[in-house]
Amino acid sequence: MGKASPLLSIISRRSALKLFGAAAMTAFGTAALTGCRANTPTSHSPVRLLVKVPRTGHDVVFDDSINEVSQVITAMGEAFEAASAQPVKVEVEVFEQNQYDNAIVGSFDTDRAVYLLYGDYFNISTYIHTGRVVPLDDIVTASVRDDIYDLLWDLSTIEGKVYMMPYLARQNVLAYNKELMERAGLDRFVRAGQIQSWSVHEWDEVLDGLAGNLPDGCYPMMMYAASSQGDTHIMTLLRSQGSSFFDETGHFCLSRPEGVAALRKIQEGVGRGWWPPHPENLEIEDCSSLFRNGQLAIYMLNNASVGRYGNEVGLVNFPGHHVCLGLRGV
């Protein structure tokens, strides 16, 4: 059954100071993002490092005051400032999740150009192909490599060079509102303590049942397409009919029968009332708000966000032809 790829981030917990240090060194010579305006310090002024972070919720078990990842990055920057032998000032800029291009590409060749970018791999890997990203191989020591799974280094490497370093992994899964499922007469699909895997036919039954029985103003499942950049969670649905999404050469293969069938299934859902009205005008945050307000039955969560909902939700894998083993005790 299709799953979204792990969502990874660019700064390693144990290597944060090394990354900030690498940026400081490159600021004196080759900038971390080439083509930026010069940031040459005088003997009295500190090196300025601009770190850009998308607005992202973040929970820390030992500190209830932290609820945004930018707070963690800011603390890393302050620690580096205090430890650095050279004067340095780390600035953290937060941008909205749907504003990656404006925050990154839009700042090229300006004094707001980014030196370090924290974000999900499926987003930030795009910018490596601009030619403005500096490889990190010179700071990826053997001890750093040994602390991280080889699979994650493979995801971090493009054309033989390491451009990204993982900070955390978040596994996506779909969550359903138990109350809405029960109100729609779908009690048999409500389970506790496991991630279910529904067959394609069961998915049709669930979505049709929700569409026919939910109260006005409530909708069965997330769907949004306002961003022309696409979205990993929605594109995962394109694997639902067996598509591998990419061919053996790494190119899209959605024109194959399995890909076409998945596209048709999404289109079919419009007529069957599976999605909120006019999803072409919606973004992920719109669907998130509907789910939080109890107006959407099925939405995407991950291991970092599912705890906010407690027993209000159950979990199910993304739809697909292949059965996956559910994770127990979640």
Who has greater pLDDT, 63 or 102? 102
Comparing 7-170 with 172-316, is the CATH topology the same?
A: yes
Summarize pLDDT for 18-29 with one digit per residue, the tens: 445 444 333 222
Q: Which has more pLDDT, 68 or 32?
A: 68
Q: pLDDT, tens digit, for every residue of 20-55?
A: 544 433 322 222 344 455 455 555 689 999 999 998
Rounded Cα gap, residues 131 and 314, in angstroms: 43
275 within 8 A of 269, measured Cβ to Cβ:
yes
Q: Residue ranges per domain, the chain?
A: 7-170, 172-316
Across the range 253-272, mean pLDDT stands at: 95
Is the pLDDT higher at 299 or at 166?
299
**Nearest-angstrom CA–CA distance, 53 and 30:** 22
Return the CATH number of 7-170, one of 1.10.150, 3.20.20, 3.40.190, 3.30.870.
Answer: 3.40.190
Q: What is the mean pLDDT of residues 188-210?
A: 95
Task: Give the pLDDT band of residue 230 (cuts 50, 70, 90).
Answer: low
Alpha helix segments (H runs only) across 199-256: 200-213, 232-236
The predicted structure's pLDDT at residue 302: 82
Question: Which residues, at least 6 apart from 300, have a Cβ–Cβ distance to it below 8 Å?
Answer: 4, 172, 173, 174, 175, 222, 233
C-alpha 255/C-alpha 88 separation (Å) is: 51
Q: Mean pLDDT score of the chain, rounded to an integer?
A: 82
Indicate the helix (H) or strand (E) that contains 177: strand 172-177
Say whether pLDDT at 215 is over 90: yes
Contacts 24+ apart (CB under 8 A), 66-75: 68/94, 69/9, 69/118, 70/94, 73/11, 73/118
Model confidence at 325: pLDDT above 70: no
For residue 189, pLDDT beyond 80: yes
Residue pLDDT, tens place only, 94-137: 999 888 899 999 999 999 999 999 988 878 888 888 888 999 99
Give pLDDT tens digits for 144-178.
Answer: 899 888 988 998 999 999 999 888 777 889 999 99
Question: pLDDT tens for residues 304-324?
Answer: 788 788 899 999 999 987 544
Residue 254: is its pLDDT beyond 50?
yes
Kindly report the length of the chain: 330
**What superfamily would CATH give domain 172-316?**
Periplasmic binding protein-like II (3.40.190.10)
Contact 215, 292 (CB under 8 A): no
* pLDDT value of position 41: 56
* Residue 39 confidence (pLDDT): 55
pLDDT at 6 over 50: no
What is the distance between the alpha carbons of residues 221 and 255, in angstroms, rounded to a whole number?
25
